[in-house]
Amino acid sequence: MKRVVLLGPPGVGKGTQAELISEKYNMLHISTGDIFRANIKEGTPLGKTAKEYMEKGLLVPDELVCDLVEDRLTWDDCKDGYLLDGFPRTVYQAERFDSWLKSRGEDLSVVLDIQASDELLIGRATGRRVCPACGKTYHIVSNPPKTEGICDNCGTALIQRADDAEETVKKRLKVYQDQTSPLIEYYTGTGKIAEVDGAPGLMEVFEQICALLGE
Ligand code: AMP
Ligand 1 contacts CB of residue 11 (under 6 A):
no
pTM as predicted: 0.85
Question: Between these two residues, 195 and 79, which has the higher pLDDT value?
Answer: 195
Environment class of 12 (CB within 10 Å of its CB; exposed 0-12, middle 13-18, buried 19+): buried
What pLDDT, on the 0 to 100 scale, is given for residue 55? 85
What pLDDT, on the 0 to 100 scale, is given for residue 124? 82
User: Cα separation of 8 and 85, whole Å?
Assistant: 9
Ligand 1 centroid to 33 CA: how many Å? 5
Ligand 1 contacts CB of residue 39 (under 6 A):
no
Ligand 1, atom 19, lies closest to the CA of 87
Ligand 1 probe mutation, 7, 31, 32, 84, most atoms within 8 A of CB: 32
What pLDDT, on the 0 to 100 scale, is given for residue 100? 97
Task: Please compute the mean of the pLDDT values over residues 100-116 and round it to a whole number.
Answer: 96
Residue 60 has a CB neighbour count (10 Å cut-off) of 19
Asked if residue 127 belongs to a domain, the reply is no
Q: Residues 16-60: pLDDT tens digits?
A: 899 999 999 999 999 999 999 999 999 999 999 999 998 888 899
Ligand 1 centroid to 144 CA: how many Å? 24
Query: Which neighbouring-strand residues pair with 195?
Result: 113
Ligand 1 probe mutation, 34, 56, 60, most atoms within 8 A of CB: 60
Question: Between these two residues, 57 and 175, which has the higher pLDDT value?
Answer: 175
Asked if residue 51 belongs to a domain, the reply is yes
Asked if residue 150 belongs to a domain, the reply is no
Asked if residue 104 belongs to a domain, the reply is yes
Nearest to 70 by CA among 38, 43, 36, 30: 30
Closest atom of ligand 1 to 87 CA is: 19
CATH of the domain at 202: 3.40.50.300
The residues annotated with a catalytic role in the active site are 14, 89, 128, 161, 172
User: Which region holds residue 149: left if phi is over 0, alpha if psi is between -120 and 50, else beta?
Assistant: left
Asked if residue 92 belongs to a domain, the reply is yes
Asked if residue 135 belongs to a domain, the reply is no
Number of domains in the chain: 1
Q: Is the peptide bond before 88 cis (omega within 30 degrees of 0)?
A: yes
Judge whether residue 215 has pLDDT over 80: no
Ligand 1 contacts CB of residue 173 (under 6 A):
no
Q: Residues 141-155: pLDDT tens digits?
A: 888 999 999 999 999
Judge whether residue 191 has pLDDT over 80: yes
Domain that holds residue 101: 2-116+172-213
Ligand 1 contacts CB of residue 114 (under 6 A):
no
